[in-house]
Amino acid sequence: MTAPIYDLNNEAIIEQNSFWELMLFYPGNVSTSSFRGQIRRDFGGEVFANFRFEVRPYDEDANKTPVRVFLSSAETTRIPIPESSQFWRYDIVMLVQGGDRRRVLQGKVYVSPGVTN
C-alpha cells in the first residue's frame, strides 16, 4: 500500500528558525516500533534535516499510537528556502520488529523564511 501524501504547507509549513512539530496517530499498537524521516532536496538528493520522534503510549480506546514528529529551531534554521514555486521532499518510515520498513507518510515540504533572529 502506498504511503499517504501529506504536504507540509499551510498549517503544517516549516517556519525557519522556529520549533516545528506534527502529531501522527498511527492505527494499532506500534509503541515498540521506531521511526525515521528526512527532508531532502529531491529523491536521493542532499539531506537538509532528520526528523526526531517521540512515540507515545498506545491509546487503547482509540486503537492508535500517537507519534510526535519534530524539529528544533536550530534544525529548521538550517533548511534552505527553496526558489519560488519549488519545494523539498520528505518521507517518514516506521521500522517494525524484524527490521522491515514501512513508509507511513510522504510529501512536499514548504519552508517559510524567518525574519527575526
CATH topology of domain 10-111: Immunoglobulin-like (2.60.40)
Q: Is it the case that residue 52 has pLDDT exceeding 90?
A: yes
State the average pLDDT over residues 51-68.
Answer: 98
Q: Where are the chain's structural domains?
A: 10-111
Q: Looking at per-residue confidence, does 116 or 45 come out higher? A: 45
State the average pLDDT over residues 59-76.
Answer: 97
State the average pLDDT over residues 108-116.
Answer: 87
Closest CA to 39 of 1, 66, 84, 78: 78
Q: Looking at per-residue confidence, does 18 or 83 come out higher? A: 18
Give residue-wise pLDDT tens across range 34-51. Answer: 999 999 998 889 999 999
State the average pLDDT over residues 15-27.
Answer: 96
Where residue 18 falls among pLDDT bands split at 50, 70, 90? very high
Global pTM value: 0.90
Q: What is the pLDDT of residue 117?
A: 66
**Alpha helices, H only, the chain:** 73-77
**88-95 sheet: strands from edge to edge:** 47-50, 34-40, 88-95, 101-109
Q: Is the dihedral angle over the CA atoms 70, 72, 78, 80 positive or is it negative?
A: positive
For 79-90, b/e burial (b = at least 16 CB within 10 A) is: beeeeeeebbbb
